[in-house]
Amino acid sequence: MNIKQKLTWVFAAIACLPVVMVAVLVVLNLRSAAQANFLDSSGREIRQIDNGMKQFFESIRQNVEYLAKDPRIASVKGLKNYTAANAEQTPVSEADQRLQIIFDRFAETHPTTASISLGLNDGGFAGWPDDPKMASYDPRVRPWYKTAMAAASGLTVRTGAYYWAPDDMVLVSTVRAFADASGNPVGVVGVDVSLKQLTELVKTIKLGDSGYLMMVEANGNVLVDPANPQNSFKPLADLGPGYSDLAKTGDGVTRIEIDGVPYMVNVVSSESLGWRFIGLIKRDEVMAQATSLTWLIAMIAAVLAIVFAIVGASFAGVIVRPIRSVANGLQEIAEGEGDLTRELEVRGKDETATLAGWFNQFLGMIAQLMRRIRSASSDLQEVAADTSQVASNMNNAAVRQREAVELVSTAFNEMVATSNEVARSCSRAASSADVGYREVHDGQRHIGEATGSVLKLSEDLQQSACTMQMLEQDSKNINTILDTIRSIAEQTNLLALNAAIEAARAGGQGRGFAVVADEVRALARRTADSTGEIDSLLGNFARRTKEVTQQMQRSLEASQISVECIQQASDSFEKIRDSVDSIRDQNAQISTAAEEQHQVAEDINQHIAQIHADALLVEEFAHSSHSGSGRLTEISGEMEKLVGRFRL
């Protein structure tokens, strides 16, 4: 969008904005006036209906009070009782006839009277018009009777309206209790009047073309709905969504929607009647004038916008013409291949002339700047060439440095690997020396244990030899004892032989003694045999004991020789242990030195790696510097070409 179009739109907007604001205010005032007009007209109609009904019901109240105070009614007694099922067979009394005359005259003078009822506390009843077939009727249980009795003394009350289907009319009862001379309530008199004239009057009231008036009782029952007669005597809240909202609405103007049609509503409650008058009219009808005026104002605003747009375009052309002249001059300068010697033509003394003058001054400064840039560009090109040569030399040196560092790094890595291998060999040798040291120590300990065991064995053998010698001596002592036993057995045998000889000499008397002597001789012989066997065994035992003693003596000598050999082996192991200790100490020193050498080699390797990384970085920087210097040379060349395009 160019400046001319913007100015045109601005002129049109500035011209139309007040018109639109005034139109909005006028439309809002018209809508408020339409609503106020509806409120006033509907309120006036409602007040007229309310005043007419108040006068009507006031006259009914006065008539009921007149009847209640009439002495002929207040003192009536003996009325016919209709509570029995065969009440029609009971003749009427004179009091009933007198009351019928009074009621006929009252109905003639009051044509709105639908019926008159009079009930006594004894169940008597009289009504107009008279119904001879009435039966099973007790006035004391009827709502109108109870309402009057429940009211304060001397107060006339009105019951709720009800629909009387036989006559197709709406009735309202006005009742009053009357008392006897002592002031005690004795009965109730009531007059039912028809609201047909009033409801017909309400139905004839029109609010505009589509408006009408509804009348609703205090309990919410609809008395009159001219638009929908079927809604009569139905609760307002049960008629639909719009009506339910209306039932909750208080007095005043509101908006509802019935069957999709928006209505404007004015609700007025009658304090004297206790009823509500509801005026309804379609909202479109109320706002019709405002809507028409709104369209008219919109058309006027559109015409004014077009007119002011045309005028604005004319003024914009006058304003933009110098600006276009400056723009054309700038376009010629821009398309003139950088000719900074051209200037804009200055015409007049307005803002565009000032703009052209300052732009010419700006071109002069640009031309001077271009001259300086051209000189600096030449110097920059020379410096870029020198920098490129230096960067190239530095790049070559960095490449050579990197190659040398890579060779040193490779050689040192091999040295580090060799040092690591030596360190690992020393570590394995130290480990082997430690193992040999532990084995020598264990062998020496085992030799010591063996030496102790052999010495203990030698001592045990010496003790066994001594024991065997003692056993050999005991064997000799046993032989001595056996010799003694053998001599005793021989002597016993001789004694038994002598006893046998003496028994033989004694003959029969010595026969028993001869038997004893034989047994003793047999015992002595067995003792001698046993002694010989024991002697033979002891001889064998003594011989074997001597052999064992000789063998133990030889074992003792051999164990002493073993102890000497073990002692020599222990001395050799002691020397081996000293040699292993020396080797382990030397290996530990070599391992420590190798570890220190390895650590130093690792440090040197890290430094060489860092030097190699730095060399790569230097090479990269040198390459970047070389590339940058080349780019700088290209830029300086391009700048020289660009500056060369300008004519100074």
Q: What predicted TM-score, i.e. pTM, was given to this entire model?
A: 0.43
pLDDT tens per residue, range 501-511: 877 777 777 67
- 645 pLDDT above the threshold of 60: no
Distance CA 203, CA 225 (A): 8
**Sign (positive or negative) of CA dihedral 8, 11, 17, 18:** negative
The beta strands (E) that lie in 64-161 are given as 113-120, 125-128, 157-158
CATH 1.10.287.610 for domain 365-643, yes or no, is: no
Q: Is the pLDDT of residue 128 over 60?
A: yes
pLDDT of residue 125: 92
Q: What is d(CA 43, CA 535) in angstroms, rounded to the nearest whole number? A: 171
d(CA 337, CA 638): 16
Which of helix, strand or coil describes residue 82? coil
Do the Cβ atoms of 124 and 92 come closer than 8 Å?
Answer: no
Q: Is 115 left (phi over 0), alpha (psi -120 to 50) or beta?
A: beta
Task: Look at residue 421 and give its three-state secondary structure.
Answer: helix
User: In 3-state terms, the chain is what percent helix, strand and coil (to 5)?
Assistant: 75, 10, 15
Q: Which residue has the higher pLDDT, 185 or 436?
A: 185
For 520-570, write each residue's pLDDT tens digit: 777 777 777 777 777 777 777 777 777 777 777 777 777 778 777 777 777
Could you check whether 13-289 and 365-643 share the same CATH topology? no
User: Any idea how long the chain is?
Assistant: 648
pLDDT value at residue 612: 73
Q: What is the pLDDT of residues 257-300, one digit of tens each?
A: 888 888 888 888 888 777 888 888 888 887 777 777 778 877 88
Average pLDDT, the chain: 77
Give exposure, 532-541, as e/b (b: 16+ Cβ within 10 Å). Answer: eebeeebeee
Cβ burial 144-170 (10 Å sphere, 16+ → b, else e)? bbebbeeeeeeebbbbebeeeeeeebb
Residue 182 vs residues 142, 151, 175: alpha-carbon distances, Å: 25, 19, 21
42-56, 72-86, 344-358, 488-502: least confident range: 344-358
pLDDT at 328 over 60: yes
3-state secondary structure of 249: coil
pLDDT at 642: 64
CA distances for 12 relative to 6, 18, 26, 298, 316, angstroms:
10, 11, 21, 14, 12
Cis peptide before 132 (omega within 30 of 0): no
Distance CA 455, CA 458 (A): 5
Q: What is the DSSP string of 454-511?
A: HHHHHHHHHHHHHHHHHHHHHHHHHHHHHHHHHHHHHHHHHHHHHHHHHHHHHGGGGH
Q: What is the pLDDT of residue 354?
A: 77
CA 80, distance to chain mean position in Å, is 85
- At residue 187 the predicted structure's pLDDT band, cuts being 50, 70 and 90, is very high
Compute how many other C-beta atoms are within 10 angstroms of the C-beta atom of residue 504. 12
Residue ranges covered by each domain of the chain: 13-289, 365-643
Confidence of residue 141 (pLDDT cuts 50, 70, 90): very high
- The CATH topology of domain 13-289 is Beta-Lactamase (3.30.450)
Residue 189's pLDDT is: 93
Total Cβ atoms within 10 A of residue 239: 18
